[in-house]
Amino acid sequence: MGKHWIGTIQELEKIPMKRYDVKGNDIFVVRTQGKYYAVSNRCTHEESYFSQEGEVEDTTLTCGRHGARFDLQTGAVKALPAVHPLKTYQLAVEGEDMFIILEDTPKPQAAGLRDLGI
């Protein structure tokens, strides 16, 4: 799917977090401690969006709805009630430009006849 320019780092100067739509992926980009992170904008607990209710401290993203916490670096859950990790995205900064690198989605392998019980 390739490398997609999303904007410049100046967009995160005043408010260090912003939502981007990249080829249908709802992505939340955060600048914290001088680094940039990109994760899914949707909390894995319920229907909440970090762009509306997210708070960041160091490299921890907290959902404002019920308080689940995630590691921005890995997407790992740091506090309940969420139990599923966040999807993370590769973000590259080149000069003042930011890019999201989307990986190719592997095509599902066709089930073999044995898998189908035939």
Under the rule (CB under 6 A), what is the footprint of ligand FES? 43, 45-46, 48, 63, 65-68, 81-82
Quick one: 23 or 84, whose CB is closer to ligand FES?
A: 84
Quick one: 7 or 81, whose CB is closer to ligand FES?
A: 81
The minimum distance between CB 70 and ligand FES, in angstroms, equals: 9
The minimum distance between CB 44 and ligand FES, in angstroms, equals: 8
Which H or E element spans position 98? strand 97-102
The minimum distance between CB 86 and ligand FES, in angstroms, equals: 10
Kindly write down the DSSP assignment for every residue of 12-50, as one continuous string.
GSSSSEEEEEETTEEEEEEEETTEEEEEESB-SSSS-BH
Structure tokens at 57: 């401290």
Quick one: 30 or 98, whose CB is closer to ligand FES?
A: 30
Query: Cα(37)–Cα(89) distance, rounded to whole angstroms?
Result: 8
